[in-house]
């Protein structure tokens, strides 16, 4: 039911952008007129950086044609000590590569979907004035690339994210980042700049449960986050990964919130923000303790570090910081400044003693697919492969996702024809099919598995969730393979 509601919402959103397309010719933004008239002068390749780093400031450069080349990678990474996760990324990091432009630039954006990826993706940049923020022009299947262009009309700090259905799932897996549009002449100079983005994650196992943790759709819908983190992982900004500065330096943080669900109460323990560009826009607030960053929003905060020590970045919804990972560190070195602060300075004082995240044993090094000696071994091995390869789409209990991924549980299509199912896993499937009376017309990409692995995963599927219980052997897989 809830899923269906979601897809109806997407349709309404899409309809909305079609209507707005039809309803207005040209740009109705307050300063659209003048920014649209800025002429570009030459061409450059955008410097893209992974967090916590940002590209060089724009300074006084004139508006140019800016070439952005972004590759989507689906890859396993570490969420917490001993806990891994399959992240979907823009450019190989969470958040995705930082893009830095100035107002009036013409961005020529190429989005590449790596051939090893399993899913189609796209990009919606909040800095874009146009239908779907580019999403409707950038839908790209694995092994393809697509180019679209836009002019940056409004200065500010903007979120970009994937907007492919199920949208929430793509965002929850890490598909977001920031694009900065500097005003003409750039922002005032500071000594250090960093890129930080909060995100909430939903895993099958609870916080700290070791191993490869699949995405949990129901927890995401219920907004029960297992992890709330900066830059995609609990330790992305702690210990050796801390950001650094020296006493007396001015710091600018570009802070975004990918969500998908939670609003951030962004705070640096022991600092006061001298300036906050509220919501990443033009309005500047002064002397701020904690700034709100909505899901799908951003803020720019600036402060000067006057005393040495470790300053801790948190979401001040404080259980998230100490129990779910929303904690980072800024290490400031230099001379004590007793006129500002003269207490005991202890590094790491705020490390979460909640402990689970820190002490879970690693769970790496499972041997590479050995040969199953019995049906029960085959099912056990198949279960692992399912979790790694199929679960993202067909879901934990094989229930699928309505209108997107067909069910495997009690699926007539699956149970009616074993050889057809083998062929689908080997070669992928496109075109309309009917499963349990519902139509699906989507793409399943071919899975790169050995014959043994295909046999194991299908045997697991057939033995689960009320299916027929057939054993699929490697010989059967080899036979189907050679008949194509």
Residues 390 and 421: their CA atoms lie apart, in Å, by: 13
Find the helix or strand (DSSP H, E) in which 151 lies: strand 144-151
376 three-state secondary structure: helix
Secondary structure of residue 176 in the 3-state scheme:
strand
What is the footprint of Cu ion within residues 164-203 (CB under 5 A)?
A: 164, 170, 175
Least distance in Å: CB of 5 to ligand HEC? 21
Q: Which stretch binds Cu ion (CB under 5 A): 35-43, 160-168, 320-328, 341-349?
A: 160-168
Evaluate the CA torsion angle 219, 223, 229, 230 in order and state its sign: positive
Nearer to Cu ion, 164 or 238 (CB): 164
Region of 128-136, 248-256, 288-296, 422-430 interacting with ligand HEC (CB under 6 A):
422-430
# chain residues binding Cu ion, by CB under 5 A: 5
Burial class (CB in 10 A: 0-12, 13-18, 19+), 299: buried
One character per residue 258-287, x = contact with ligand HEC (rule: CB under 6 A): ------------------------------
Confirm or reject binding of residue 421 to ligand HEC (CB under 6 A). yes
Determine if 472 is a binding residue for ligand HEC (CB under 6 A): no
- Determine whether the annotation assigns residue 175 to a binding site: yes
Here's the x/- map for ligand HEC, 282-311, by CB under 6 A: it reads as: ------------------------------
Closest CA to 298 of 127, 461, 115: 127
Among 181, 187, 394, 476, binds ligand HEC (CB under 6 A): 394
The only residue of 58, 123, 125, 162 in contact with Cu ion, by rule CB under 5 A: 162
Q: By CB under 6 A, is residue 162 in contact with ligand HEC?
A: no
For the beta sheet containing 99-102, the strands, ordered from the edge strand earlier in sequence to the opposite edge, are: 99-102, 176-182, 156-161, 124-125
Residue 292 exposed, middle or buried by CB count within 10 Å (0-12, 13-18, 19+): middle
**Nearest approach, Cβ of residue 95 and ligand HEC (Å):** 23
Which listed option, ligand HEC, Cu ion, none, makes contact with residue 392 (CB within 5 to 8 Å by class)? ligand HEC
Dihedral sign of CA atoms 354, 305, 290, 90 in order: negative
Q: In angstroms, how far is CA 417 from the centroid of its own chain? A: 37
Which of the stretches 74-82, 157-165, 254-262, 332-340 binds Cu ion when contact is defined by CB under 5 A? 157-165
How far out from the chain centre does Cα 329 lie? Answer: 22
Of residues 286 and 420, the one with the C-beta less far from ligand HEC:
420
Contact 280, 299 (CB under 8 A): yes
Q: Which does 172 bind (CB under 5 to 8 A by kind): Cu ion, ligand HEC, none?
A: none
What is the pattern of x (binds ligand HEC, CB under 6 A) and - over residues 445-464?
A: x-x---------xx--x---
- If one asks whether residue 161 binds Cu ion (CB under 5 A), the answer comes out as no
Site for ligand HEC in 59-118 (CB under 6 A): 118
Give the CA distances from residue 310 to residues 53, 182, 191, in Å, rounded to whole numbers and listed in that order. Answer: 19, 30, 18
Q: Write out the binding residues for ligand HEC, residues 424-443 only, by CB under 6 A.
A: 424-425, 429-431, 433, 435, 440-443
390 is known to lie in a ligand binding site: no
Q: Confirm whether residue 1 is marked as ligand binding.
A: no
Whichever of 154 and 445 has its CB closer to ligand HEC, that residue is 445
Which residues fall within 8 angstroms of residue 40, CB to CB, at 6 or more apart? Answer: 62, 63, 64, 65, 104, 105, 106
| For the chain, the helix, strand and coil percentages under 3-state DSSP, each to the nearest 5 | 25, 30, 45
Helix residue spans in 24-166 (DSSP H): 32-37
Residue 144 assigned ligand-binding role: no
CA angle 328, 171, 7 (to 5 degrees): 150
Q: Given the DSSP bridges, would you call strands 297-304 and 309-315 parallel, antiparallel or unpaired?
A: unpaired
Residue 212 C-alpha from the chain's centroid: 17
With CB cut-offs between 5 and 8 Å by kind, which of ligand HEC, Cu ion, none does residue 408 bind?
A: ligand HEC
Q: Which does 442 bind (CB under 5 to 8 A by kind): ligand HEC, Cu ion, none?
A: ligand HEC
The radius of gyration of the chain from alpha carbons, rounded to an integer in Å, stands at 24
Give me the DSSP letters along 396-454: TTS--BTTTB---TT-HHHHH-HHHHHHHHHH-EEEEEEETTEEEEEEEPPP---HHHH
Residue 212 interface partner, choices ligand HEC, Cu ion, none, CB cut-off 5-8 Å depending on type = none
Residues 398-417 that bind ligand HEC (CB under 6 A): 405-408, 411, 413-414
* 121 makes contact with Cu ion (CB under 5 A): yes
Which residues here bind ligand HEC, judged by CB under 6 A? 118-119, 389-390, 392-394, 405-408, 411, 413-414, 421, 424-425, 429-431, 433, 435, 440-445, 447, 457-458, 461
Name the binding residues for Cu cation. 121, 126, 161-162, 170, 175, 316
Name the binding residues. 121, 126, 161-162, 170, 175, 316
Which residues here bind Cu ion, judged by CB under 5 A? 121, 162, 164, 170, 175
């Amino acid at each position: 039911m809830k899923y269906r509601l979601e897809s109806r919402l997407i349709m309404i959103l899409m309809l909305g952008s079609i209507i707005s397309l039809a309803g207005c010719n040209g740009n109705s933004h307050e300063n659209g007129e003048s920014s649209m008239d800025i002429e570009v002068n030459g061409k450059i390749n955008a410097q893209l950086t992974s967090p916590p780093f940002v590209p060089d400031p724009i300074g006084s450069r004139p508006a140019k044609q800016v070439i952005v080349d972004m590759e989507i990678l689906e890859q396993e990474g570490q969420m917490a000590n001993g806990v891994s996760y399959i992240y979907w990324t823009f450019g190989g990091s969470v958040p995705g590569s930082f893009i830095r432009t100035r107002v009036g630039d013409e961005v020529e954006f190429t989005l590449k979907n790596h051939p090893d990826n399993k899913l189609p993706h796209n990009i919606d940049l909040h800095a874009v004035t146009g239908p779907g923020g580019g999403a409707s022009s950038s839908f790209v299947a694995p092994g393809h690339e697509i180019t679209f262009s836009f002019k940056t009309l409004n200065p500010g700090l903007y979120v970009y994210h994937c907007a492919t259905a199920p949208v929430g799932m793509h965002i929850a897996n890490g598909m977001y980042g920031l694009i900065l549009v500097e005003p003409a002449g750039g922002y005032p100079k500071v000594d250090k700049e960093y890129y930080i983005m909060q995100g909430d994650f939903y895993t099958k196992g609870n916080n700290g449960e070791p191993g490869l943790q699949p995405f949990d759709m129901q927890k995401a819908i219920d907004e029960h986050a297992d992890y709330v983190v900066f830059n995609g992982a609990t330790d992305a900004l702690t210990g050796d990964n801390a950001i650094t500065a020296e006493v007396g330096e001015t710091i600018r943080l570009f802070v975004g919130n990918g969500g998908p669900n939670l609003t951030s109460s962004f705070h640096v323990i022991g600092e006061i923000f001298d300036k906050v560009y509220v919501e990443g826009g033009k309005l500047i607030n002064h002397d701020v303790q904690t700034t709100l960053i909505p899901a799908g929003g951003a803020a720019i905060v600036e402060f000067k570090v006057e005393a040495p020590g470790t300053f801790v970045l948190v979401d001040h919804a404080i259980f998230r910081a100490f129990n779910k990972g929303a904690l980072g560190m800024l290490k400031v070195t230099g001379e004590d400044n007793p006129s500002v602060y003269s207490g005991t300075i202890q590094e790491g004082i705020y490390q979460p003693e909640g402990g689970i995240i820190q002490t879970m044993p690693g769970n790496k090094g499972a041997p590479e697919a050995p040969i199953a000696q019995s049906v029960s071994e085959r099912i056990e091995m198949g279960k692992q492969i399912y979790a790694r390869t199929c679960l993202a789409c067909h879901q934990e209990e094989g229930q699928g996702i309505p209108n997107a991924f067909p069910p495997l549980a009690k699926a007539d299509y699956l149970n009616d024809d074993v050889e057809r199912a083998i062929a689908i896993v080997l070669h992928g499937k496109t075109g309309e099919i009917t499963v349990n009376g519902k139509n699906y017309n989507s793409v399943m990409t071919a899975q790169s598995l050995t014959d043994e692995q295909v046999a194991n995963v299908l045997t697991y599927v057939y033995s689960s969730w009320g299916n027929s219980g057939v054993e699929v052997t490697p010989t059967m897989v080899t036979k189907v393979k050679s008949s194509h």
